[in-house]
Amino acid sequence: MFRKSLIVLLLFASTSAYAAATDKLKYFIAATHSAQANFSQEVQDKNGKRIQSASGTMQFVRPGKFRWSYQKPYEQLIVGDGKKFWMYDVDLNQVTVKKLDAALGSSPAALLSGSNEIESGFVLKNIEDRDGLEWLQAVPKSKETTFEKILMAFNAKSGLAVMELYDAFGHHTVLRFTDLKNNPGLSSKLFQFVPPKGADVLGD
C-alpha cells in the first residue's frame, strides 16, 4: 500500500482437489463477526522488485468497521467507522476522509469487513494449493476498482493466512497475517476517528 493509499492460468488435476478454499472463505465470513491480527505487507513492482514493506495490526467488525494501524516504517492509521473512511498520516499530520462506500467498492477491505454476500461483488474461483495453503482467486465484478484480482490463502484451521493483491499498474502486494483471533471482543472506540487538532483534513 503506497503512502497515499494505504490492495494465471492453472491446470486442475480435479475440481474437487481445490474445492476447500472458497468454502473456507465463505465459512470465515459467515462465522467471523470480528477479527484481529498482526500483518506484514510487501509491495513489488511489475518486475518483482520490492519497492515497499510495512507492518502493523488490523481489526474489523462486520459490516463496514475496520482499523488498520501501520507501525513500520512510518505511522499511518486507516479507520472505517461504518459510514466514512479515514486515513491519517502521522508524519504529515494529514487526514483524508471519504464516504465509506466510495472508498471501499470491490477492495480488499470489502472482502474482509463487508457483508456476507461476498459473491455479489466478486467472482470466486479455487486455484492450485501452494506453500501448504489452500488458495482462491477473487475478481471484482465492478470495473471501478484499482485491483484486477485478489488471491487469498487459508490454512488447515480455516484461518486467513495470506492475501495477494494485483492492481492495474502491475504492482503486486502481499499481506501475511499472524496471530489471527476470530470474534474477539473489540471496543467500539477502535472504529471511531476524530482528526487531531491542527491536522489538515482533505475530502468529504
| Cα 53 from Cα 1, distance rounded (Å) | 9
Per-residue pLDDT tens digits for 93-121: 999 998 887 666 556 666 677 665 667 77
- The pLDDT assigned to 5 comes to 37
- Which regions in the chain score pLDDT beneath 50? 1-19
**Domains in the chain: boundaries:** 15-192
Residue 33 has φ and ψ, to the nearest 5°, of -80, -30
DSSP 3-state of 13: coil
pTM of the predicted model over 0.85: no
Q: Can you give the pLDDT at residue 108?
A: 65
Compute the distance between CA of residue 10 and CA of residue 13 in angstroms, rounded to an integer: 10
Q: Please give the CATH number for the structural domain made up of 15-192.
A: 2.50.20.10
DSSP secondary structure of 89-145 = ETTTTEEEEEEHHHHHSSSHHHHHHS-S-GGGTEEEEEEEEETTEEEEEEEES-SSS
Residue 190 in 3-state DSSP?
helix
Q: Tell me which residue of 139, 115, 114, 119 sits closest to 127, measured CA to CA.
A: 139
Contact call for residues 132 and 81 (beta carbons, < 8 A): no
Instruction: Report the C-alpha gap between 104 and 100 in whole angstroms.
Output: 6
**pLDDT confidence of residue 25:** 87
Q: Which of 60, 55, 41 is nearest to 171 (CA)?
A: 41
Place of cell 487531531: 196
HSE of 128 in the Cβ direction (CA atoms, 13 Å)?
Answer: 8
H or E element: which one contains 31? helix 20-31
What whole-number distance in Å separates Cα of residue 8 and Cα of residue 166? 12
Q: Is 34 helix (H, G, I), strand (E, B) or coil?
A: strand
Q: Would you call 48 helix, strand, or coil by DSSP? A: coil
